[in-house]
Chains A and B, each alone.
Chain A
Amino acid sequence: MTPDELLAIGDRVVAGARRGEGVEVVVTWSRDTEIRAYEGAVEQFTSATSAGVGIRVVADQRQGFAYAGTLDPAAVDQAFEDARDNAAFSSVDQYAGLAQPDGVAAVDLALHDERLAATSTDDRIAMAIAFEELVRTGDPRIVGIDGGADYSDTDALSAIVSTNGIRTAAAETGCALSVYSIAEADGDVSTGFGFSVGRHPGELDMERAAADAVQRAVRMLGARPAASERLTVILDPWVTAQFLSIVAEAFSADSVLKGRSLFAGRQGELVASELVTLVDDPTDRLAWGASPTDGEGIATRRTNLIDAGVASGFLYDSYTARAMGGATTGSAVRHGFMSTPSAGAQAVSLVSGEVSRDELLATVGDAVLVQEVAGMHSGVNPVSGDFSTGIEGLRLRGGEAAEPIREVTIASTLLRMLGDVVAVGSDLEYFPFDAAGVSLAIADVTLSGA
């Protein structure tokens, strides 16, 4: 499949638009490989291509949507009919509509790397097996692998065509190694994950991913619940990224428009520590969410959300821009061909500080280093701002790692946590979702334990 073939499918649908009808088609295609190694052999090997089309129709200020999990012309036509019929039942909304080209040229981010396709199946299998071996032999206390050592890659194409003159296609590749190791000593069991992501296998850092999985598990052996207290926590970049992903929801113009944002009406106000500069930048080609265009085919761009602690911007798609009298920031997010676009973050991160991780640990001195969280989506409410999650990590005393702790929670509110940031690390790390992270020290958090 080629980008031109996807565009041609979009062109054909759009050509069928009736007078006065807005039609937008997203077409996706991908080839995916997943390899799971376990005990030195391939346990699962998945190889597949998948494709689909999503069609949005806006007529008489009403919107309808339908999709098909195939590029078969009859199924695409049926989806178009369904979308048109669906539009007749939604509410009249004066802001309903499709994106208008805004003249901003999309930057070529070179997200498609031919070296992925050039990697043989045998080499991919060898990588998964070598990865498992590295983890299992990394420490005598590693006794198992939870699931398996996984290698996965994707070679994906997408296109968007609309009656407003949007016509864009993009290609990208991605690959990842991931594993959860199990360590055991003196009857204690612990787990640790490690992973690495890249655009082609040569960008994967297998040694580091394996070492992370080993170290994270081994250092948690003997962990116990700690006593409740208020203290400073240092979030690992992996945890910071998850925290930022939730904070970013409140910067969606859709949340603001619908009265669900903690930051509504607070533009220009100090909402965080001056150390905090939060950006969404899908043009950063190292970010997993990097993309030249958004879910409506508009060029992506960097948007400052918090500038040195001051709330400085929201993320708009074309709908929220029309409804709120702003301009799109190229922030329409789609979750594949089955979903309609809505405003949100694609590649959020903190602008890194100047202190290394080690300096940060030494400066803070007394704290808990949070290496893993559980329940980010059951105990954190981005509307009320309440924050409570289970954690495991290491107690730090005098900047040195002390005892490991688990089966405890940390709690505060999102706003208080942003205000209580006392140090931002320089150790920016990218993760396979919409946020990157740095080591982040936050004061005055309640640790709840034994």
Chain B
Amino acid sequence: MPDEMMIDDDVVRHVLSAGMSTGADFAEVFVEDKRSSGAVLDDGKVEELTSGRDRGAGIRVVVGDATGFAHTSDLSERSLIETARIAAAAARGGGGSASPSDLRRVDAPAPNRVSVLPEEIGKATKVELLTRADEIARGAGPAISQVMARYADSRRRILVANTDGAFADDDQVKTLFSISCVATGDTGMQTGRETIGHSIGFELFDRYDVEELARRAADRAITKLGARPAPSGQMTVVIGSGGGGVMFHEACGHGLEADLVNKGASVFAGRVGEQVASPLVTLVDDGTMGSEWGCFAIDDEGRPAQRNVLIQDGVLVDYMWDGLRARKEGRPSSGNGRRQSYQHLPMVRMTNTYLMGGTSAPDEIVADTESGVYVAHLGGGQVNTATGDFVFGMSEAYLIENGQITEPLREGNLIGNGPAVLAQIDAVGNDFAMGPPGTCGKDGQGVPVGDGVPTLRVHGLTIGGTAA
């Protein structure tokens, strides 16, 4: 199939040479062609369908510790060479002495097969998903006062070539559906939300029933109308299977990114080989993981995706690495070099980060908890990697009283300190599940990530509620 995006090998060589022309240690060209489409239903109406295309190239030139970067939406050879010269000038070239290696095609297996490309499905079919979900959610009860449903897909093709000789491409397809309901009652308004997303095409909807998702989102909003204010203070927390991977993403994921570690901005710096968590904790970051949201064949530096064990039985095994940081340390990248688009520099990012399953029966974990909070679904989170303090929101949570899950709680944040909390995980269930798709923000760039956990119990978290 002729590919209008791909620039040919000769052009790539010329562009890389232009990047190295004033002396450099490394040059890279990253070409991206991303098509997106989406539809939003709100207030009972399909408000609009959106589609778009964004393509261009980002060129990076590294001289010593300095990186120059420039990008262009014009993929002509003339424009690419001009952009490479701007990047070289920005790196203040001169001094570097590397010469480009021969380009070698990187073979990387696709993490999964896409059966139905989004463009093969008619717009009417996508819209119909939304109207069906809206109808079901509104039928869930008279308290449901508003529904918003969203469908989005994207196809992102990338090509990466660099002066180390790597030459790689990838074709990344993603499909997402979300539904958000408002319920209104005597206590005001509450919201309930469900989101699904995978690195596959329209076959997503063979795996999930949008009607079921709509019912769950509506029920969640209705349940929360009866919620009481969350407690305040430190309590035992049980996190439900699939609902709480964000906690690990924040409690230690970011802190294990080599760029932050190298700048002394992580509490996990210098701790490889040490016990940093409870022996029940084995944490993995895995970009090869089937159709999960954070998957790819190659990362945005042309490196094949990898499965990396970060913490094994509580012992810190390794950090996550991108090409730049790995070069400095004279070690291979771990396939974690990612960027939001061709307009951004890559940096160390997570892919799909998850806690391996344990041996406890989930219902026994709850039954064994005298009092605490059961968090069925987490919202987003945030971490200060230098201090280790992190927060995450609870979007669906209940009290645990005498080993029983009882009353629903209103929303709030939980706060803790990464190393302290990791050490206080005392039960890990045998019911591992991946959670909903996420977007991870770092330094102004968002990338798709996945996470997963089995049911687990943790101490040392403070619940940010208003009740005594």
Contacts and interface: CB of A to CB of B under 8 A. Distances in A.
B432 to A, nearest CB: 23
19 contacts: A39-B65, A48-B72, A69-B55, A70-B56, A72-B73, A85-B123, A143-B264, A374-B391, A375-B380, A375-B413, A378-B379, A378-B392, A379-B379, A383-B190, A388-B411, A409-B413, A446-B232, A448-B463, A450-B233
Nearest to A95: B45
Given A42-B92, A407-B462, A82 B190 contact: no
A335 B416 CA distance: 34
Secondary structure call for the B interface? strand
A64 B443 CA distance: 33
B3 to A, nearest CB: 17
A65 B413 CA distance: 37
Contacts of B424: none
Interface stretch (A5-13, A235-243, A257-265, A291-299): A257-265
B72 A41 contact: no
A63 B92 CA distance: 48
A50 B188 CA distance: 45
A85 B45 CA distance: 17
Given A41-B66, A86-B49, A392-B389, A375 B382 contact: yes
B145 interface: yes
B413 A189 contact: no
Please give me the 3 A-B residue pairs with the lowest Cβ-Cβ distance, nearest first. A409-B464, A378-B393, A379-B413
A82 B38 CA distance: 12
B340 interface: no
Interface stretch (A111-119, A144-152, A165-173): A144-152
B1 interface: no
Given A68-B52, A388-B413, A449-B233, A258 B462 contact: no
A384 B190 contact: yes
A191 B466 contact: no
A408 B233 CA distance: 9
A258 B42 contact: yes
Given A90-B47, A379-B411, A385-B188, A46 B70 contact: yes
Which of A63, A93, A408, A448 gathers the greatest number of chain B CB atoms within 10 Å? A448
Interface string A139-160: 0000111110000000000000
Contacts of A258: 42-43, 146, 148
Which of A90, A388, A446 gathers the greatest number of chain B CB atoms within 10 Å? A388
Which of B379, B381, B413 gathers the greatest number of chain A CB atoms within 10 Å? B413
A89 B263 CA distance: 51
B391 A390 contact: yes
B267 interface: yes
A137 interface: no
Contacts of B69: 44-48
A384 B146 contact: no
Interface string B158-174: 00000000000000000
A339 B391 CA distance: 30
A45 B91 contact: yes
Contacts of A45: 66-69, 90-92
A374 B389 contact: yes
B184 A86 contact: no
B227 to A, nearest CB: 9
B354 to A, nearest CB: 20
Contact of B50 (A86, A91, A143): A86
B51 interface: yes
B71 A383 contact: no
Given A89-B39, A182-B264, A381-B191, A446 B386 contact: no
Contacts of B123: 85-86, 89
A210 B127 CA distance: 51
Which of B145, B188, B383, B386 gathers the greatest number of chain A CB atoms within 10 Å? B386
Contacts of B184: 259
A47 B55 contact: no
Contact of B48 (A90, A386, A407, A447): A90
Interface string A104-147: 00000000000000000000000000000000000000011111
A75 B462 contact: no
Interface of A: 38-39, 41-52, 63-70, 72, 75, 78-79, 82-83, 85-87, 89-91, 93, 143-147, 182, 189-191, 225, 228, 257-260, 262, 338, 340, 374-375, 377-379, 381, 383-386, 388-390, 392, 406-412, 446-450
B189 interface: yes
B161 to A, nearest CB: 19
Interface in B202-244: 224, 230, 232-234
A143 B66 CA distance: 21
Which of B48, B70, B417, B465 gathers the greatest number of chain A CB atoms within 10 Å? B48
B195 interface: no
Contact of B415 (A72, A85, A182, A407): A407
A383 B180 CA distance: 12
Contact of A411 (B190, B191, B464): B464
B235 to A, nearest CB: 10
B453 interface: no
A178 to B, nearest CB: 10
B465 A388 contact: yes
A384 B191 contact: yes
B189 A383 contact: yes
B387 A189 contact: yes
B380 A384 contact: no
B223 to A, nearest CB: 13
Contact of B52 (A67, A145, A449): A67
Contacts of A340: 48, 50
Contacts of A66: 50-52
Which of B46, B67, B464 gathers the greatest number of chain A CB atoms within 10 Å? B464
Interface in B50-82: 50-56, 65-74
Contact of B233 (A41, A85, A228, A374): A228
A78 B411 CA distance: 44
B391 A375 contact: yes
Contacts of A70: 55-56, 73-74
A340 B52 CA distance: 12
A306 B48 CA distance: 32
A39 B263 CA distance: 10
A191 B384 contact: yes
A165 to B, nearest CB: 22
B108 interface: no
Contacts of B260: 146
A89 B468 CA distance: 52
A79 B46 contact: no
Contacts of B47: 63, 90-91, 93
Nearest to B231: A448
Contacts of B462: 225, 407-409, 448-450
A48 B343 contact: yes
Contacts of B387: 189-191, 406
B35 to A, nearest CB: 10
B149 interface: no
A111 to B, nearest CB: 22
Interface string B259-298: 0100111010000000000000000000000000000000
Nearest to A229: B232
B410 interface: yes
A375 B73 contact: no
B15 interface: no
Given A45-B68, A143-B264, A381 B73 contact: no
B424 to A, nearest CB: 14
A410 B412 CA distance: 10
Interface string B173-200: 0000000001010001111000000000
B67 A383 contact: no
B184 to A, nearest CB: 7
A286 B134 CA distance: 43
Interface string B329-347: 0000000000000010100
B24 interface: no
B381 A259 contact: no
A384 B192 CA distance: 11
